[in-house]
Structure 1
Amino acid sequence: MRDHGADRDRFALVDVGPDPKPLQRCLSSLGIDRIDLLVLTHYDMDHIGGIAAVIGRVGTALVGIPENAQDERLHARLAEGGAEVRQAAKGDAGTLGGLRWDVLWPVRGGSEMQTGNPGSVTIEFDGRGIRSVFLGDLGEDAQDALDRVSAPGRVDVVKVAHHGSRDQSPQFYAELHATVGLISVGADNRYGHPTVSLLDLLRSVGTLAVRTDRQGLSVVAPDAAGGGALTVWTEKGG
């Protein structure tokens, strides 16, 4: 996420991928040298493995409940690099320039769905003509639980959960009714992501699927003509 502040652009990054090198190339290509808000949705290596690319460059880091000593060391590395590390839960909120952000999930103090994929820190951004939600690796049960306690309602953009796996809630995506669904997924992955069932689901609710395995780096912005339309640019076309 990017916001044009009065003094400089401000940036939020949700997860860092499995390898620091591609992330570093991506940030360099976009001219980003400072991450004002980093969100680590959970601790699977495909979401935190690239952390070295941003150590020393983060203002605030929102993280989930650490599951082991390795996760706690990751927090320490971020803090030693100058980041304010905060354990995130529903109700946490703030601003990024002209954008507002709200954490929708997990529920602080809840007895279930607090770690791993079901406990993925889920964040919403609103402002500058786009409302978006990032679902981490939430599965269908967790999506339905989130919907009961923090229903986002309609959004412009959804970061599709779990790289487009089949474990999705049709009702939840219908309520989101997003214009664009961003699917962060590796080319030729062995899981068959994104699945046909997920792509069919997005199509059925009128959400345009934009997938990194085929289209590469993707940018969504408010259309210059206004009226609530969006412009989508992809590195590889399509």
Structure 2
Amino acid sequence: MPNRKNDATTPKCHPEPQRRNDDRAKLTKARICNAMVSCLDEVGYREASINLVQARAGVSRGALTYHFPSKEDMVIEVLERLLDPVRGEAGEAGRPLLPPRTTGRGDGLRTDLKRLWSRLVNTSEGRAMFEILVAARTDTALQARISPSLAKYNEQINRSILSLYTAPTGGDDDVVILWTICRTFLRGLHVQERFEVDPDTMDAVMDRFAELIAPLMVPRKTSQEMQDHDEKPV
């Protein structure tokens, strides 16, 4: 009787089916999260129901609840995905908006602020995040779940900005405070936008704020730039 363990014709176990299942699961989660982002942006947190997200994502109720048993679970996952490209943990789908030398060290704060407004804050994703933050103000359960991620995000952003900028009239604490002011201002534009008739006004407000704050934060010199400066004759 042949030894089946050594039988060359015995099918070998391959990881491909499991990998395909994992890939399908990731794609399904991404579709659901993208649908939730668009719903948050278009109809707001309250109206972004599971039924609406399901229809927008084009998935079955079973598939949706398998990955996200509740709306809150969906929101948590969406928030994590929205934070990742900013804090530098994005994969191929995104990249940090403020990595070292993004601005070339010559463009400065004004360019960074305008980039953040146009590529992050004033986007569907930025407005979706704003909806989540506003909802968490009165939803204590949601607030409790997102607070750790927001605190971690805040620490990472502060470390990132300290690697990029310095304050001519203050220390690192001043840089962090100034950048917090910038972030507060950018998010506040979503509220002010409701008062404005001309949408172009927001761009003008953004430009003027950048002009005001730019002298207070200057690009931090790299070690190579400091070495080049030291080697110059006096």
Specify the TM-score bucket, using the shorter chain as the normaliser.
under 0.3
Question: Which one scores higher on RCO, CA 8 angstroms, separation ≥ 6?
Answer: 2
Pick the structure with more strand per residue.
1
TM-score by length of 2: 0.26
Larger Rg: 2
Greater share of helix: 2
Superposition TM-score, scaled by structure 1 size: 0.26
